[in-house]
Amino acid sequence: MNTITLIEGGVTAAKGFTANGVHAGIRKNKSKRDLSLIVSEKRASAAAVYTTNLVKGAPLTVTKAHIADGYATAIICNSGNANTCNANGIEIAEGMAKAVSDTLGIEPSDVVVASTGVIGQPLDLAPMVNAMPALSKGLSKNGSDAAAEGIMTTDTVKKEVAVEFTLAGKTCRIGGSAKGSGMIHPNRATMHVFITTDVAITPAMLQKALSSDIASTFNMVSVDGDTSTNDMVTVLANGMADNTPIEEDGEEFRIFMKALNTVTVGLCRMIAGDGEGATKLLECSVTGAKDEATAKTVAKSVICSSLLKAAMFGADANWGRVLCAIGYSGASVDVGGVGVSFRSVKGSITVCENGAGIPFSEELAKKILLEKEIEIVITLKDGEGSAVAWGCDLTYEYVKINGDYRT
């Protein structure tokens, strides 16, 4: 049995990857890093998924063209400005790639470009070009933290996960960094997520792994119901673990998928728990659905309910809001068979059985819901389908943050 072990690190955990983050001057606050660079020692297989929002940031268009051949060597990302809805957006994004190319001596087309921040604001290329020497000089195996900080916007914590496992006797690693706090309700991709691995895998199989994984991970996260214009998940695999290349489905691919999923689930939980203004991570688990698709629909509907999110902020066991969200989800559910429980480290309490309320201790429910991580457990009686979704509570602070986000 292959053991997947959580280890320290993020995007530099795998062999052959270095990273750094600096303050380039994009953000006015000089204490905040706003430009990050991740580099592979060898040209790597590349895969990505992007937002389905019709309004897309210029970096996504450029990145999609750059990795059309399935390969990349570096990732450059700025925070503080999304480079979206700008007349010269493509020019700026290509300029970022060229700045990396000129500094590292690689092809501009081997650079993944990403931007995050305010939409519709002009982005000056000069600060990034001027910062490139210091950014590249500081690249190191210890640079994951700096890079993770450089992509943050309203995030309050850095988000990094890494794992170690073996493929045919070869030690392999996957590491990832993410940013995401608000404008999170993805479809096909979410937030900005950068994942690196030293596994040898073809671009086609890497894309297959990523596209399959996000359906039950990043696409099951919601903070506020808004799908960003700049969402992107990118994976680079440089093959430096020296395993036999994964070229088709099989046991090695399944092990890789499980390791990738461990990283992505970890990042999902961090993103949801750090939602703008959030005080609690909410996890909604659904079992007994007619099929997986139905379970996903139910879980996502509950986690997106503003009323349920507000109730969780107030530690109010208002289970009726759970049933309400199930009812308007569009899922085919036998409402008379619905059960609802709330769990946390303080215990578990069942509040609804067979679609109706049952007596429960409000005092115990309050203790359970005052914790920072809450599980909303939904049991159905329609089949074997199951799913998990992640979100957060809705607080006064969310409105405050977004009331003056641009200014």
Q: How far apart are CA 284 and CA 380, in angstroms?
A: 13
Paired with 112 in beta bridges are 75
Positive or negative, the CA dihedral 61, 65, 71, 77 is negative
Record the tokens describing residue 295, joined without a space.
Answer: 């379970």
Is position 190 annotated as part of the catalytic site?
Answer: yes
Q: Which of 190, 217, 234, 297 is flagged as catalytic? A: 190
Positive or negative, the CA dihedral 56, 157, 278, 233 is positive
Scored b (16 or more CB within 10 A) or e, 154-164 reads: bbeebbbbbbb
Inter-CA distances, 100 with 12, 93, 246, 300, 301, Å = 18, 11, 30, 39, 42
CB burial of residue 88 (10 Å; 0-12, 13-18, 19+) = middle
Positive or negative, the CA dihedral 91, 39, 233, 167 is positive
Residues counted in the chain: 407
Q: How far apart are CA 17 and CA 218, in angstroms?
A: 24
Catalytic residue positions, numbered: 190
